[in-house]
Amino acid sequence: MKQACKYHPAARGRWYCARDGIHFCDECVASDDPQGSSARCMLCNRALEAVPTVLAATPFYQILPHFLRYPAGPFFAALALVMALPLALTGFHWTGAVVFAVAGLVLAACGGTVLYQGLEGRLERPTHQEFLSGEGWAAGVQCWLAWAAMVLLAGLGFHYAGLPAALAVVVAFSLLLPTVFFSLARNPNPARALQRIHAPPLILGRDYLLMAAALAAAGVLVLSLAVIVRDLAPERLAAPLAALPVAWLWLFSMRLTGYLGCQYQDELEIETRERELARRRARNRRPETERRMAVLLREGRYDKVLTALEARLEKKPEDPALNEQYARLLEAMGRTGTLLEHAERYFAALFKAEQGHRVPELIRRYRELDPKYRPRAPELRWQCAQELATAGEHLEAVRILQGLHEQNPDWHGVGEAYVFMARLLAQKLDMEKKAEQFLRFVEKNYTRPKTRQLVNEARKELGL
Ligand SMILES: [Zn+2]
Ligand SMILES: [Zn+2]
């Protein structure tokens, strides 16, 4: 049964945390080395167990009936029969074996498709389209040649030296063939495959010996069947009939190779789609801090996320995205007090990043939580008022600035801000009287020449 990541149901769970009882994909794992053994749990920080590949968690000998039944599909059987028919002409002559080896090239390609299906962790038989895609043919044909050599030699051995010689050939080949198959599955270029021909037995160890034993047992069985058919069946039918179990043995071998190749795909370095996907994911992974936060959020550990965000904000106080994340989280957690306290730092970050246009929307959000909200720092109030006015929210701009001289009597910009407000009142809000009051207030209290000039300009323009 395929285990999915708890937080990414479409991704395979490649890691398991025994403490939290959760499966993770590569995206959800701490450590930047997803292939290595150093993966840690994002939640409890303990080392994770690697989950064996897809279906391959089950040892092959526990589902042996599947492998025995697999080659008995109608498509395979029909194909084997067609391939075997020319043998009716040759009979049990060595030329018959050669004919079978050549006519069986289609069966060989078919075995290649079976092999690749297995490597991708698929249990079902390939469809016609998958067979015709040509994937695996190169490896299949080469495996077939090595395998057909066994059939040919066993036949010759039987003919010249009797059954024991044929059995010896089958057993010897059963030990050698798996490593040839695995090497070709890894790389269908024969020269390259030969370079590492010694590796698979060392990597698979006991499983390699068990596989060789299974192949040998199946080979002995098939050989015995062929001998019986040869003695009992009518002459013309005997050779084609004996060829059927031989074809079965071929597909059985390919299915078994594919299954074990899938189980050991990482160790054997077989390029499967699964491995390529995992690599691509690893390359495109977001930084670990972000991934950790995503996992913590999905697990509902908001306090931990908040602490992590605060730590990141301390390092990058002017990052608008971080500030937004922090504000959203506080909003979701209902921490209005902390949220409003954080507001001024967020505004400052936005102005610094020249994203002042986002201020009006933010003020609206804060006002929903506290209808009287406005920044405390006079510079920020002034900047926010300007952004609000630019966004066409004139009344809000006036509300932000109201009472500025009371709360910040010493701030140097009060005069300019009030002249700005008077303009808004007169031009945008049809409140000339109020505008006049503000202008008079500025004239009375702020006597610097620059402020005076601003007032005079405003009076001329507004006709007050
Ligand atoms: Zn995941
Ligand atoms: Zn854990």
pLDDT in tens, 318-359: 999 999 999 999 999 999 999 999 999 999 999 999 999 999
User: What is the per-residue pLDDT across 274-289, written as a single tens digit (0 to 9) for each?
Assistant: 788 777 877 777 888 8
**3-class SS of residue 10:** coil
As given in the structure block, the two tokens for residue 79 are 């194909």
Mean pLDDT (whole number) for 60-83: 88
Top-confidence residue, 384 or 122: 384
Give yes or no for residue 1 having a pLDDT over 50.
no
pLDDT for residue 4: 86
CATH topology of domain 319-462: 1.25.40
User: What is the per-residue pLDDT across 16-49, written as a single tens digit (0 to 9) for each?
Assistant: 999 999 999 888 888 755 555 578 898 998 888 8
Q: Cβ-count burial of 197 within 10 angstroms (0-12 exposed, 13-18 middle, 19+ buried)?
A: middle
User: What is the per-residue pLDDT across 165-191, written as a single tens digit (0 to 9) for each?
Assistant: 999 999 999 999 999 999 999 989 988
Cβ neighbours of residue 418 closer than 8 Å, sequence gap 6 or more = 401, 404, 405, 438, 439, 441, 442
For residue 29, give the ligand nearest its CA.
1
pLDDT for residue 192: 87
Domain extents for the chain?
57-269, 319-462
Ligand 2 centroid distance, CA of 289 (Å): 16
Q: Which residue has the tokens 């059939």?
A: 151
In 3D, which of 108, 116, 174, 118 has the Cα closest to residue 145?
A: 108
User: What is the per-residue pLDDT across 210-242, written as a single tens digit (0 to 9) for each?
Assistant: 999 999 999 999 999 988 998 898 878 888 888
Cβ–Cβ under 8 Å, residues 404 and 417: yes
Ligand 2 centroid distance, CA of 7 (Å): 14
Ligand 1 centroid distance, CA of 321 (Å): 23
Confidence bin at 271 (pLDDT 50/70/90): confident
| Integer CA distances (angstroms), 463 to 107, 242, 430, in order | 98, 112, 13
Ligand 1 centroid distance, CA of 285 (Å): 11
Q: 29 - beta bridge partners? A: 41
For residue 44, give the ligand nearest its CA.
2
Helix axes 235-263, 74-84, angle to 10 degrees: 130
Ligand 2 centroid distance, CA of 283 (Å): 24
Top-confidence residue, 56 or 176: 176
User: What is the per-residue pLDDT across 106-137, written as a single tens digit (0 to 9) for each?
Assistant: 889 999 999 999 998 887 888 888 888 888 99
Cβ neighbours of residue 386 closer than 8 Å, sequence gap 6 or more = 356, 397, 420
